[in-house]
Chain A
Amino acid sequence: MENPPVTDFATDWDHTDPAWVHDPYPIWDDLRQRCPVAHTDRYGGAWFPATHAGVSAVAQDTEHFTSRTVVLGNGRPLEDAPPAPIGVAPPITSDPPFHTIARRLILPAFAPGPVRALEPRVRELCRRLLDDLGDATEFDAATQYAQFIPPGVIVRMLGFPEADEDVFRDFIHVVLEGVNHPVEERIEEFAPIEAYITAQIEDHRAHPRDDLTSYLLGVEVGGQPLAPEHVFGTIILVLIAGIDTTWSAIGSALWHLASHPDDLARLREDPDLMPIAVEEFLRFYAPVTMARLVKRDVEFLGCPMREDDWVLLGFPAANRDPEVFPDADRFVIDRLENRHLAFGLGIHRCAGSNLARMEMRVALEEFLARFPRVELVDPEAVTWSQGQVRGPRRLPVRVVPA
């Protein structure tokens, strides 16, 4: 289902509009100068702050904005929505005080120590994927490389069968790119994965082991085990939050390197620059946009926001704000001062950020070690996702001989 074309992004924006999907940056630059909070009557009413200050103010304010749902769509989930399509996925869809508890539970699994321990397995996975490419001189760096890395990691963390990695990629596509499908259709799309995860949970309940799923089944809060919906919701969350996002981030970085030989050469010659470069990839190609619902009528950022209006939290737009970043629209591979918001801000800061950074760094290091020189086969053949996660979905590259 296609929405009608946008007349003016300041008063009628739509993040699924082809112009926004293809190249949102000039649109956001224009909005920053003109608004800076854009409005639309679509989706039942929604706001879009285009500045770093506006995005920060909303992200930090859990009194006026709820995370009950973070994917902008046509419907509004009820206050006590059942775990319908990514309805209840704690902690991302929780507000304080429950959020604090749900978040604390999972943070230790994603802290720097456990993430470092995973690094050799991620490296091995990347090398295996590169081996699988054989002598190919042309291949798709998104669908034949980047796409397989995050599911491989998450499926291991959860202790699901490794052969099932591709089940998740397909499913996540459905959830994140189907924002315009009617709610009933989305519930239907969701059914097979729900059955799959339920079966995995039952298997872990019967045979506990050392993984995140067993941890969630065994952990207690105030002497009580987690509710089954909580365990289920958190598993769904790490699958969704961990896969499409990171795949997109790796893909965007590879797209950049394949189309900017100077930056590729710089990383080849100075591999120590990688952690700094990863932050600039995150700033410049921030893949994730979130949403909030307005809790009750409020005047915010000078706008008359009504209860149940959406606010689209454009972390990628905040990252291009010239008020905060000199030369904001230029990719500066050694940008040292880089207070970007790619992982959000405030109490919902991406719980997986240590993991995501490590995956990006290792994926790029291994790729460059194998293919020191690559270029795009055809810039026009590259396609980008629509929805709240942005990244290349087709990325044909050619290996260039030294």
Chain B
Amino acid sequence: MKVTIDAARCQGHGRCFNLAPDVFGFDELGNGVVLVASPPDDRAERLARLAQVNCPEHAIDIEE
């Protein structure tokens, strides 16, 4: 799995880093950043997908 955030879309809703704190973090403005592009286990992958379907701006892309 490869996780990316489209910075042009992200508005800092914070859903990703709250749902999947092992995969996503935030910058000083509170916008989302990817911490671990390839989540190491099933649990992290599942949470990354959950973050994706909760992002109001559709800013998270996941390549399986």
Residues of chain A whose beta carbon lies under 8 Å from any beta carbon of chain B: 104, 107-108, 110-112, 275, 279, 336-341, 343, 345-347, 349, 353-354, 357
Contact = CB atoms under 8 A, between A and B. Distances in A.
- The majority secondary structure among interface residues of chain B is loop
A353 B29 CA distance: 12
A162 B29 CA distance: 27
A112 B30 contact: yes
B13 interface: yes
Given A339-B56, A345-B57, A346-B11, A275 B28 contact: no
Given A275-B18, A337-B53, A349 B11 contact: yes
Given A111-B30, A336-B50, 5 more contacts: A104-B29, A112-B14, A112-B17, A346-B57, A353-B14
A129 B29 CA distance: 32
Contacts of A357: 14, 18
Nearest to A110: B30
A347 B57 CA distance: 10
A341 B54 CA distance: 11
A347 to B, nearest CB: 7
B39 interface: no
Contact of A337 (B13, B26, B28, B54): B54
A339 B50 CA distance: 11
Q: Which of B13, B55, B57 has the most CB of A within 10 A?
A: B13
B21 to A, nearest CB: 10
Given A275-B18, A349-B12, A349-B13, A354 B53 contact: no
Contacts of B56: 339-341, 343, 345, 349
14 contacts: A108-B30, A111-B30, A112-B14, A112-B26, A336-B50, A337-B53, A337-B54, A338-B54, A339-B55, A346-B57, A353-B14, A354-B14, A354-B30, A357-B14
B54 A111 contact: no
Given A339-B53, A345-B57, A107 B12 contact: yes
B13 A353 contact: yes
Contact of A108 (B13, B29, B50): B29
Contacts of B50: 336-337
